[in-house]
Chains A and B, each alone.
Chain A
Amino acid sequence: MTGLDLAFATFGLIAVVCGLLAVTTTRVVHAALWLVVSLGALAGCFLVMGAEFVALVQVLIYVGAIVVLVLFALMLTRSPIAAQTEVSVGPRRRVLAAVLGAASAALLLAVLVPVVAVLPERTVTSTEVMARDLFGVWVWPFELLSVLLLSALVAAFAVSRMDRPSEDTAPAHASSTDAPLLGEAEA
Chain B
Amino acid sequence: MSALEIVLRSAAVLAAFLVLPLLVGQMEHKVMGHMQGRLGPMYAGGYHGWAQLIADGVKFLQKEDLTPAAADRWLYRIAPAIALVPYLVAMAVVPVHPGWVGAEVPASALLVLVASGISVLGMLIGGWASANKYSLIGAMRSAAQLLAYELPLVLSVASVCLAAGTLNLTGIIEAWSPAWLLWQLPAALVFLCAAVAELNRPPFDTPIADSEIVMGPFTEYGGLRFAFFLLAEYAGIVLFSLLFAVLFLGGWRGPGDAYLGFLWTALKGLPIAFLIIWMRVAWPRVRADQLQRLAWLGLVPVALGQLALTAVVVVSR
How far is A63 from B114 in the complex, measured between Cα atoms in Å?
Answer: 9
Tell me if A60 and B147 are in contact (CB < 8 A). no
Closest Cβ–Cβ distance, residue A167 to chain B (whole Å):
18
| B-side contacts of A81, CB under 8 Å | 70-72, 128-129, 131
**Known A-B contacts A53-B110, A60-B110; A33 and B125 likewise in contact (beta carbons under 8 Å):** yes
Closest Cβ–Cβ distance, residue B138 to chain A (whole Å):
10
Contact with A along B103-117 (1 / 0, CB 8 A): 001110011011001
Which chain B residues numbered 292 to 316 have a C-beta less than 8 Å away from chain A? Answer: 292-293
How far is A71 from B110 in the complex, measured between Cα atoms in Å?
Answer: 23
Contact with A along B186-219 (1 / 0, CB 8 A): 0000000000000000000000000000000000
Q: Looking at chain B's contact residues, is the secondary structure mostly helix, strand, loop, or mixed?
A: helix
| A-side contacts of B154, CB under 8 Å | 60
| B-side contacts of A64, CB under 8 Å | 113-114, 117-118, 120-121, 146, 150
| A-side contacts of B243, CB under 8 Å | none
Number of contacts between A and B (CB, 8 Å)? 81
Tell me if A60 and B121 are in contact (CB < 8 A). no
How far is A25 from B290 in the complex, measured between Cα atoms in Å?
Answer: 37
Tell me if B147 and A72 are in contact (CB < 8 A). yes
| A-side contacts of B150, CB under 8 Å | 64-65
Closest Cβ–Cβ distance, residue A27 to chain B (whole Å):
8
How far is A52 from B106 in the complex, measured between Cα atoms in Å?
Answer: 8
Q: Which of A53, A64, A65, A81 gathers most chain B CB within 10 Å? A: A64
| A-side contacts of B118, CB under 8 Å | 59, 63-64
**Known A-B contacts A63-B121, A79-B128; A181 and B147 likewise in contact (beta carbons under 8 Å):** no
Q: Is A29 among interface residues, defined by CB-CB distance under 8 A?
A: yes
| B-side contacts of A36, CB under 8 Å | 121
How far is A178 from B289 in the complex, measured between Cα atoms in Å?
Answer: 6
Total count of chain A residues near the partner, CB < 8 A: 27
Q: Is A75 among interface residues, defined by CB-CB distance under 8 A?
A: yes
| B-side contacts of A30, CB under 8 Å | 75
Tell me if A127 and B106 are in contact (CB < 8 A). yes
Q: Is A68 among interface residues, defined by CB-CB distance under 8 A?
A: yes
Q: Is B167 among interface residues, defined by CB-CB distance under 8 A?
A: yes
Among candidates B71, B117, B139, residue contacting A60 with C-beta atoms closer than 8 Å: B117
Tell me if B117 and A63 are in contact (CB < 8 A). yes
| A-side contacts of B88, CB under 8 Å | none
Which chain A residues numbered 126 to 149 have a C-beta less than 8 Å away from chain B? Answer: 126-127
| A-side contacts of B124, CB under 8 Å | 68, 71, 75
How far is A128 from B210 in the complex, measured between Cα atoms in Å?
Answer: 46
Which chain A residues numbered 62 to 116 have a C-beta less than 8 Å away from chain B? Answer: 63-65, 67-69, 71-72, 75-76, 79, 81
Residues of A at the B interface (CB closer than 8 Å) are 29-30, 33, 36, 52-53, 56-57, 59-60, 63-65, 67-69, 71-72, 75-76, 79, 81, 126-127, 178-179, 181
Which 7 interchain pairs have the tightest Cβ spacing? Answer: A64-B117, A72-B143, A56-B110, A81-B72, A75-B140, A59-B114, A60-B114
- 28 residue pairs of the A-B complex, CB under 8 angstroms, read A29-B128, A30-B75, A33-B75, A52-B105, A53-B110, A56-B107, A59-B117, A59-B118, A60-B110, A60-B114, A60-B117, A63-B114, A63-B118, A63-B121, A64-B114, A64-B120, A64-B121, A64-B150, A65-B117, A65-B147, A68-B124, A68-B143, A68-B147, A81-B72, A127-B106, A127-B107, A178-B292, A181-B289
Instruction: List 14 extra interface pairs beyond A63-B117, A64-B121, A75-B140, CB under 8 A.
Output: A33-B125, A53-B107, A56-B107, A56-B114, A59-B114, A59-B117, A60-B110, A64-B146, A64-B150, A65-B117, A68-B117, A81-B128, A127-B107, A127-B167
